[in-house]
Structure 1
Amino acid sequence: MAIPSSTAALSGSKKRKRIAADEAARKPKSKLKDLPVITKAVLLRPAPKSKKPVEPSSDEDEEEDEDEDMGSGSEEGDDEDGLASRQAEMLRLEEEIVSAKTATARTKGLNSLLEQLEDESEEIVIMTAVGLCRTFCRLMSRGQLVRHKDHSPEQLKMVKEAKESYINYLNSLGDMLEGGEGTSLKLAMRLLKEESIHMKPSEDYYFPFLTYGVIIKHLLLSDSPDLVTVFATEYVYEFSDLRLEFFKAIPTVSKEVPLSNTRYSENLFNILYNLKDLPSTSEELTDLNLYISAPTKKKHPLYLIASHQRYFQETWLTLLSRPLPSKQRDVLTILPKRIIPHFPNPRLLMDYLTDTYNTGGVIALLALQGLFNLMMSHNLDYPNFFPKLYALLDRDLMHVKYRSRFFRLLELFLNSSHLPAVLVASFIKRMARLCLAAPPSAIVTVIPFTYNLMRLHPTCTFMLHRVLGKEVDSKALLTGGYADPFNEDEVDPLKTGALESSLWELETLQSHYHPNVATLAKILSEQFTKQQYGLEDFLDHSYTSMLEAEMSKKITRDPVVEYIVPKKILFEEGKKDDDDILPSAQNMLLELWDFE
């Protein structure tokens, strides 16, 4: 964290310069570089400008304003002096803490700084947090937070009490993270790096997972989405070791957070939802961008793709076990391409998908898409798939906004010549029955969809031949003179009897009131010369698009409104029209409009 040095913060008066010089003279040179230092530029913030208009003032008012300016200037100077004295006192305490010879002296100094974290002033709290971070970093670099065999009892006591103060400081930073304080995130991540360097038990790789777990927990409980985004983009997405340890920490951290805490779940979802470009092969783990030093062992989990996928799977399963109804649709959308390919055992998602299906609507449809992916790519045996898909074909489907998404997925599910014709016939008959009460924008999608299914399953064309061959009279069926063998109440598509039925519903569409529907329905009465129709050309039709098409259509000839077009509509009584076809009776319309 690049922050200016403390010398600039103490400039402004000779007294402050002298104090800074004395403190700098007494301060030993530290080998650490870029340690966080709070400055006056960080602490002092400009006062908000007044929005009131400036009014002209007299000489007396100007004198009063000058007095007020002098008074406000003195108050600002007092504030600067107060912060400078606090800074000087903090630097003195830091030196005493680092150079303390007894546990009592060090603990007293640390407790004095920790108490200042409870101050009401935000500037003082931030200044104290930065000072404590600087202090603990110096203690780590000198090995004063790690036990050694040659330590005396007093030194062991110093290490123990200093570590307790360090834990209290981490918890205080956690509270600041929950409040959305951005400086606390940088301080916590700086401590994480220093701890991995100076507090590892051996010369091998060491990651301070306990400290990282505290950071993750409090950050996911934060009410600041922007701070969560900063943590994700600058740390989790950027460094492979932080991403892997994040996956490892989530199952443990989530146990400490109640399921009713939706803020935690939403923050975790936002991080995982925007996580992209995960490694999929071991070759992608050879040159990693790491936040701390790389491990020396070649078989370390950081270099094994199986470890990344296993912890990624555990993280997502942990999130999916928490109630998150507002994000279900987003999860199901990215499930086939961004979640399942990185799961070592995708079958673990079956319970989640089946439970999600029970919610109904588009959520159920997306859940079936995930199950279909598992069936096709991972040999999942799920015999209830097509009955559940068949149950989604109801009257409401033709009127909802996700209708186009449904037909896209339905085409994907039924686009296989290995499916039994009895099953496909049930779907065709069910859609044809729904067309009787469907809007024209939905019917123009069902007709080409039915055409494509019949081309893929020629056996289903017998349903159409029974109508075209006049084996079934649609008028007689409508009047009750014919019993349709199709059982509309049957939930199993293999037992509906649709293949023995007919598509009289589609035959009636040839006389539909909408000309586009009537014209399109006639393709079922002609020879099937076209291989198939592009369903995308018919999916996004709506009342608006159909109306715009009619309004923008170029008319080549005037439409005929009557079978016999008279030359005149109104003519005088006794005066006949030239057309011999028109009757010679009196014009009743002319009589009605006669007001004499």
Structure 2
Amino acid sequence: MAMSLKSINNLVEELLQSRQNCNKIVDLIPLINFEENEEVLNVILDGVGTYFCNAICNNELTKQKGVSKEMSEYQEWINIRYNECLAKIVLLLDHDSDILKEKCIVTVLRFMESKIGVALQKDNVSFPETELESLICAFIINDTSNHMQDVCTNIWKLDDVRYFALKCITKCSAECLSKIELKSMMLQNIFTLLNSISESMPAVMDETNLHTLANNGVERIFPAVNKDPVVTEKYQDSSIPFPKALDLKEQRKIFGNAWLEFLNYDLDSHLFKSVLVILQKCVIPNFASPCILADFLTRSFNKGGGIALLSLHSLFILMNEHNLEYPDFYTHLYSMVHPRVFDAKYQPRFFFLLDVFLSSTHLPAYLVAAFAKRLSRLTLVAPTCAQELLVNFIQTLIDRHPSIKILINQNTKALQKKALAGDPYLEAEVDPAKCKAMESFLWELTALSKHCSSSVSAAIKNIDKGPKQDITDLLENTYEEMFDTLCEKEIVDAPMNYRAPKTLFGGFDDAVMELWSV
């Protein structure tokens, strides 16, 4: 029979009154289950949380020498009850209520904070990794909501918790993946954990304003938490309990190890892409040695398709900022300038990155000319909404690299006739250095100079005057936008015929005249 809320409140009060009522905990622990309602569980969690925090602070969970037999048996008994309670609380992290799950996390953090407070009074300080491993295993196994991800992000703001969590993730991941078959969901949860930690990594470690569990950490990230009746000594002296945890180099080293272990798993295509999307923003800046990602990125780049496209930016950052040597980068990039890019989900991202990669004025003229010619050839098969982008891209390259103006200055009638006989440009050549782009010219733009779209034809006519529009404004251009622009345009003289008539009736097969014929 389920106990009433009033009965549970009385049970909690009796438990907290005296150690003589410690057996009441045996009645409360089994009630921590999914069958009880949320209000009852909140009361129980508050009660057992306060009880065990008091027990920890009074050294009742620490086995001591020279104590009586009764005390030794009591310590052994309460340790068993504590482990039972911890296991029950962690299981509740699969509950439907986000508020209750947050309460469970706060309760476990209170246990950890109390243990650190007691350990700080001793010479041998150790971090309570058992509780942290229990939390991380629960995060990996259970599906997490957006609210819980926000809660986790707050937890990782604590420098010591973040450091030891990174150490635990590798161990917990291996254990969970070896036992349970739902590997795709767990890999997604591991990625979510690592991503939230990545967002919480500091740029610098300020020792004058430490955010640690030892320094009132739970109260900082969860201000609504009530203080326990027994307040232990917190970290307030000049000594640092976990020096490695507060060393940014050490944090980045262990951060890199955790990510590399995760990247060694067999990730599905969706998760692979999710990793690549955040890599350059959140992961690479927090690596102690970012170049160790080179193998993963080159392997991704060689896969081709969307995965190769997403790996471009991170690979370029390693080349540009960390002196990674990858001589075939522009050759692979050149091969990606293909008509199929217009069918890709990441088309805007590709052209944005292509502009970044070709922005250096130190690139050789033959290389830039090869890309300009390739883009020019694409204008013949590209959708109308993308043609304006391509023309503006070519204008930008010519404006940025004056040495390739020869591609438009050579556009004479004599060369046009020669082009009809055969363009020297080798479209099938994969090496931009051998495609003979500098021997050709952009005749494709001449073919589009009378395009039905006024924006495309106008851009081609002003090809030698530099781009009038920034490329980033055209990346998301669609047919819908083109249609809306044309509808908003005011037309003064609307043409009603493609040839001007000379008489009211008659001329060029006038159907009206046929009505008068016998």
Q: Normalising by structure 2, report the TM-score.
A: 0.81
- Residue 115 of structure 2 is aligned to residue 195 of structure 1: yes
- Residue 465 of structure 2 is aligned to residue 549 of structure 1: no
Q: What is residue 84 of structure 2 aligned with on the other side?
A: 168
Moved more, 142-151 or 178-187: 178-187
How much has 1:326 moved relative to structure 2?
A: 3.0
How much has 1:350 moved relative to structure 2?
A: 1.7
How much has 1:538 moved relative to structure 2?
A: 3.8
Aligned partners of 2:175 and 2:363: how far apart in 1?
A: 48
Moved more, 131-140 or 427-436: 131-140
Aligned partners of 1:547 and 1:119: how far apart in 2?
A: 56
- Residue 174 of structure 2 is aligned to residue 255 of structure 1: yes
Aligned partners of 1:439 and 1:83: how far apart in 2?
A: 67
Q: What is residue 297 of structure 1 aligned with on the other side?
A: 239
Summarize the Cα distance change of 1:411–1:462 in structure 2 as closer, same or farther, 3 Å threshold.
same
What does 1:276-355 correspond to in 2, within 5 Å? 276=199, 278-282=201-205, 284-292=206-214, 293-294=234-235, 296-297=238-239, 300-322=243-265, 323=267, 325-355=269-299
How much has 1:90 moved relative to structure 2?
A: 6.2
Aligned partners of 2:170 and 2:375: how far apart in 1?
A: 45
Q: Choose from 154, 162, 165 the match for 1:246.
A: 165
Q: Is the 8 A contact 2:140 2:176 kept in 1?
A: no
What does 1:479-558 correspond to in 2, within 5 Å? 482-524=421-463, 528-530=464-466, 534-558=470-494
- Residue 324 of structure 2 is aligned to residue 380 of structure 1: yes
One-letter code aligned to 1:592: E
Aligned partners of 1:114 and 1:531: how far apart in 2?
A: 71
Q: Is the 8 A contact 1:369 1:409 kept in 2?
A: yes
Deviations 1:27-68 (A, max 9, x none): xxxxxxxxxxxxxxxxxxxxxxxxxxxxxxxxxxxxxxxxxx
Aligned partners of 1:531 and 1:113: how far apart in 2?
A: 73
One-letter code aligned to 1:452: T
How much has 1:305 moved relative to structure 2?
A: 2.0
Q: Choose from 370, 378, 385 the match for 1:434.
A: 378
One-letter code aligned to 1:308: Q
Aligned partners of 2:69 and 2:75: how far apart in 1?
A: 10
What does 1:130-279 correspond to in 2, within 5 Å? 130-152=46-68, 155-180=71-96, 181-182=100-101, 183-198=103-118, 202-203=122-123, 205-226=125-146, 228-229=148-149, 231-237=151-157, 239-258=158-177, 260-274=182-196, 276=199, 278-279=201-202
Q: What is residue 452 of structure 1 aligned with on the other side?
A: 396
Aligned partners of 1:490 and 1:302: how far apart in 2?
A: 53
Aligned partners of 2:300 and 2:344: how far apart in 1?
A: 19
How much has 1:429 moved relative to structure 2?
A: 1.9
Q: What is residue 62 of structure 1 aligned with on the other side?
A: none
Q: Is the 8 A contact 1:266 1:324 kept in 2?
A: no
Aligned partners of 2:458 and 2:144: how far apart in 1?
A: 57
Summarize the Cα distance change of 1:334–1:291 in structure 2 as closer, same or farther, 3 Å threshold.
same
How much has 1:214 moved relative to structure 2?
A: 1.1
Summarize the Cα distance change of 1:535–1:187 in structure 2 as closer, same or farther, 3 Å threshold.
closer
How much has 1:543 moved relative to structure 2?
A: 1.9
Aligned partners of 2:306 and 2:106: how far apart in 1?
A: 42
Summarize the Cα distance change of 1:537–1:210 in structure 2 as closer, same or farther, 3 Å threshold.
closer
Q: Greater CA radius of gyration, 1 or 2?
A: 1
Aligned partners of 1:314 and 1:285: how far apart in 2?
A: 24
Deviations 1:403-441 (A, max 9, x none): 332222111111122222222222122222222212222
Look up the SS of the partner of 2:415 in the other structure.
coil
Aligned partners of 1:440 and 1:134: how far apart in 2?
A: 68
Aligned partners of 2:34 and 2:477: how far apart in 1?
A: 63
Aligned partners of 1:530 and 1:263: how far apart in 2?
A: 50
- Residue 334 of structure 2 is aligned to residue 398 of structure 1: no
Q: Is the 8 A contact 1:145 1:199 kept in 2?
A: no
Look up the SS of the partner of 2:60 in the other structure.
coil
Matched residue pairs, number?
487
Aligned partners of 1:494 and 1:542: how far apart in 2?
A: 34
Moved more, 393-402 or 381-390: 393-402
Aligned partners of 2:311 and 2:386: how far apart in 1?
A: 23
Deviations 1:375-397 (A, max 9, x none): 00000111221122112111122
Q: Is the 8 A contact 2:398 2:405 kept in 1?
A: yes
Taking every aligned residue pair, what percent have the same amino acid on both sides? 26
Q: What is residue 44 of structure 1 aligned with on the other side?
A: none
Aligned partners of 2:393 and 2:287: how far apart in 1?
A: 34
The runs of 5 or more residues in structure 2 that have no matched partner are 215-233
Aligned partners of 1:372 and 1:515: how far apart in 2?
A: 36
Q: Normalising by structure 1, report the TM-score.
A: 0.72
One-letter code aligned to 1:483: G
Q: Is the 8 A contact 2:361 2:400 kept in 1?
A: yes
The runs of 5 or more residues in structure 1 that have no matched partner are 1-77, 101-105, 571-581
How much has 1:120 moved relative to structure 2?
A: 4.5
Structure with more relative contact order (C-alpha pairs < 8 Å, separation 6 or more): 2
Aligned partners of 1:546 and 1:93: how far apart in 2?
A: 72
Look up the SS of the partner of 2:177 in the other structure.
coil
One-letter code aligned to 1:160: E
Q: Is the 8 A contact 2:297 2:311 kept in 1?
A: yes
Q: Is the 8 A contact 2:115 2:128 kept in 1?
A: yes
Look up the SS of the partner of 1:171 in the other structure.
helix
One-letter code aligned to 2:188: E
